[in-house]
Chains A and B, each alone.
Chain A
């Protein structure tokens, strides 16, 4: 209906306009207006009764359908062209295969699929739409300030900002289409648009590395697209329908293989093992891309699909295998995050890990698990986005992505560092959101497959380590530093403060989010719902108050302590942070975090994680087939 159409088309239109705007001033206006409008519409959507049916949408469906087919052909041809130009056999092969499958389907097998309900909006769609609109919108605003600095510091990269912003908004529109679509063909179309946007944005800097990583992303997502196409064909052949809701509500035997294939597609999009390499490689792109596509929204599309499949796969061997793959991803990615000092890589691994946790919840598939998974999506989107945006600002000031370079950042960039600390606390610390979600996931798991808790407990311990050592690095006071005069530009600060506020609000209001958005969905699908319990909510509230007293009452702290030198064996030199070494030579104190390279090797983890997951995936598809 109208709202859905607006949300899909307006960002695309804005993108088209932005493609031709070279003036930064006009760009700001278009971006801000569009973002505000989209946020307003999305929020208003949240208040409408669900699920929305699409009465009044009967017209033009036929034409839209052919428009979509045209678009698909266009994308397919472009993929083949890229694959040919870059000599990538896989891209060509996958693109061709998908083209053949969908082409055969559209023109041979299913020539009259018009009796379908193409759009279905329920609370889960609205949740995803809110994330896309608000978080995504915030990132677009941030990108205005960020790209202005980026263009100045990266003079060797061509200024292709019109294309950049156009792609951001086209992507936003495609995401809206993705979460509202009920016709699987339409879903696939928007899915492929997001793949294309990701490919173009990763390759933005057009360096060799960027082009290579963009191809990797393209190829892996194409594999997912192929699986998606096969799922559509199979389901139609079994039941004559291409509707998502029909798949979710159909009987097990019919839906299991399509559901497994869709989970496969979701796993490629969400960079689960063995497909994690593309997300790590995607970090070469500018930070807004990493934040928008590769942590908050696009990768959420993959786990959104897996969560949709949850009612179908719950209680089956396929579901268990999906959950194990998700759990394995969570564990391996968390361990790998310990080993790297590169900030964006740590964030990427953490993203992969948390998506693995959502996949685990989807595979378990009970009402409690899906509740936990939805919560995870919400909190992760907000916190991780905040972290990426802060890291982007830090990178501009320090000209480095190394965590070790961020020593004492709380003195140099106080506000940004504080927001980073809040973001990191939001990722793993009680009483913040991700912890609540992890708690919910644990509870869902113990009631169904307690063995899965293995992944959660060991992975969770690993997350504790790498986040806290980063937090410690930020507050470290080994060398005195002066604060930078102007930390962030206006656009960036709007986004950052908004997201910090959102982190708090999401935690504080999570019972409201749960009861208004998530629980109705769960109740609708499973007939019962999950919640944390009144007493626990109160305790979490108390804890949040206590924890927040820390930054808030800093001003009240009486600083009556006598300042002395740190203990350096009595050999302190005149300046702070130095000592007298051999022969009276003054040495600087250097402090370097542990990366446990002798215990967890990133390469080893990646290899074994990929192989184990690949084996599990093969088993999954085999089991679904039989």
Chain B
């Protein structure tokens, strides 16, 4: 079914970035690059988002936040690490406060290299993520509809 590829909504999180990659990410929204052509919306709300775009390396404060946001996102979802720091820790890799890239916390699907990553590269990464989203959706359906799947129901609540 259509929709997943045509309407990728992004939540953009700055782990400990110097803001270089963030500025380039936001530049994608400007008239020069205009990612809204592709249906991309920068929603700041994990529950509305399909793509988790992280910049910067992971430090102590951002560890729990990244997990928290990733958990609040509905499936299917993909994670994109934008920039060298998010991919592997970048030049801050050996610092005492840095755990490493985003993939040390959550499974990352797309790595966008660069310092700072260029808007064209970021857009390219998002487009690649769209394919992954569709693939993931297909796999989820398979698992859900398979005869051995475990059905879960939510706990009881009140009006």
Contact = CB atoms under 8 A, between A and B. Distances in A.
- The short answer to whether A and B are in direct contact, CB under 8 Å, is yes
Interface of A: 410-411, 414, 418, 421, 475, 477, 551, 554, 558-565, 567, 569-572, 580
Contact of B68 (A551, A561, A572): A572
Given A560-B153, A567-B46, A411 B72 contact: no
A81 to B, nearest CB: 53
16 contacts: A421-B159, A475-B159, A554-B159, A560-B154, A561-B154, A564-B71, A565-B68, A567-B45, A567-B47, A569-B65, A570-B13, A570-B65, A570-B68, A571-B64, A572-B68, A580-B64
A565 B45 contact: no
Contact of B159 (A418, A565, A569): A418
Nearest to B48: A567
Nearest to A421: B159
Contacts of A570: 13, 46, 64-66, 68-69
Interface in B140-156: 152-156
Interface string B43-82: 0011100000000000000001110110110100000000
Contact of B155 (A554, A563, A572): A563
Given A554-B159, A562-B74, A564-B72, 15 more contacts: A418-B159, A477-B158, A551-B159, A558-B153, A559-B153, A559-B156, A560-B153, A562-B152, A564-B47, A565-B68, A567-B45, A567-B46, A567-B72, A570-B13, A571-B64
Most A Cβ at <10 Å: residue of B65, B66, B72, B158:
B158
Contacts of B156: 559
Contact of B158 (A414, A558, A564, A580): A414
Nearest to A562: B154
Nearest to B75: A562
A352 to B, nearest CB: 30
B60 to A, nearest CB: 10
Interface string B25-57: 000000000000000000001110000000000
A550 to B, nearest CB: 8
A574 to B, nearest CB: 10
Contacts of B3: none
A571 B64 CA distance: 8
Most B Cβ at <10 Å: residue of A559, A570, A571:
A570
Contacts of B47: 564, 567
Nearest to A474: B159
Contacts of B153: 558-560
Nearest to A566: B72
A564 B45 CA distance: 13
A411 B154 CA distance: 17
Nearest to A411: B158
A410 B159 contact: yes
Contacts of A561: 154
Contacts of A569: 65
Nearest to B62: A570
Nearest to A558: B153
Contacts of B69: 570
B43 to A, nearest CB: 11
Interface in B1-21: 13
Contact of B65 (A418, A564, A571): A571
Contacts of B64: 570-571, 580
A411 B47 CA distance: 25
A411 B159 CA distance: 8
A411 B158 CA distance: 6
A56 to B, nearest CB: 55
Contact of A559 (B45, B65, B154, B159): B154
A570 B106 CA distance: 15
Contacts of B65: 569-571
Contacts of B155: 559, 563
B45 to A, nearest CB: 6
A561 B75 CA distance: 12
B13 to A, nearest CB: 8
B123 to A, nearest CB: 25
A480 to B, nearest CB: 9
Nearest to B46: A567
A453 B74 CA distance: 48
Nearest to A414: B158
B154 A565 contact: no
A421 B68 CA distance: 35
A577 to B, nearest CB: 14
Nearest to A481: B158
Contacts of A564: 47, 71-72
A558 B74 CA distance: 18
B71 to A, nearest CB: 7
Nearest to A550: B159
A551 B159 CA distance: 8
Contacts of B74: 562
B20 to A, nearest CB: 22
B88 to A, nearest CB: 22
A396 B159 CA distance: 22
Contacts of A572: 68
A562 B156 CA distance: 12
A559 B158 CA distance: 11
Contacts of B45: 567
B157 A559 contact: yes
Q: Top 5 closest A-B pairs, CB basis? A: A570-B65, A559-B154, A570-B68, A411-B158, A570-B69
Contacts of A411: 158
A93 to B, nearest CB: 54
Nearest to B67: A570
Nearest to B47: A567
B157 A477 contact: yes
A421 B158 CA distance: 13
